[in-house]
Amino acid sequence: MTSGYTSLSSEELVAVCANSGDEAAWEEFVKRFQPMIARTVLRTARRFVPPPRYLLDDLIQETFLKLCGDDCLVLRRFQSRHKDSIFGYLASVAASVVLDHFKFRRARKRNENKTEPISEQIWIDVPTARRHSPVAIEDRILLRQIDELLCKLFQGEQLIRNRTIFWLHNREGMTASAIASIPSIGLNTKGVESTLRRMTLMIQNHMGTTP
């Protein structure tokens, strides 16, 4: 029975899972998408802390619960815009779960008067280039400079949101619409696009580069 679902496209498989409780279809869903969801959870969680395995497992499980919740509402909302766009959509859902987790944890720490510098709370591992080459070293320095500049240009919740948007787009390759689908971002697609343009111009102006 499961073999019948392996021949489906990703979008077709998601449609089956969204509209039925077929166990074999969900087994194929987990097999096909779990590795990508796990990678997204790991990359996003690393921005905050070196995540222990139990936390990663919990966040992956929470992502699947979100996909299944409310009669698979999240899956039923998916609209394919291009081939394999489901992967970007599911990545945005996984990132949303992780961001919401740490946002809640920060809020709880504030209530307990145990605050941390924002620069240590989020995106502590700035996107890195490949190591062990002069070009990689130069790229790594540039990325660090960009991140430090973002910390100077923005403050508080705006810093957290804008850094998240910037690196999700420029490192993870997420589109503005995918980023806008993350509830904690709080912007629509045009708002994300505008934020990215504004940050790019600000970075270029401060670093003396030509737009």
What confidence tens digit (pLDDT) does each residue in 109-157 have? 666 554 444 333 333 344 444 444 444 555 556 677 788 888 888 888 7
Distance of CA 188 to the CA centre of its chain: 16
pLDDT band at 190 (very low <50, low <70, confident <90, very high): very high
Across the chain, what does the average pLDDT equal? 78
Note the CATH architecture for domain 1-115.
Answer: Orthogonal Bundle (1.10)
Domain with CATH 1.10.1740.10 in the chain: 1-115
**Helix-helix angle 23-45:10-19, to 10 degrees:** 110
pTM, rounded to two decimals: 0.57
116 CB-contact burial (10 Å; exposed 0-12 / middle 13-18 / buried 19+): exposed
State the average pLDDT over residues 49-73. 90
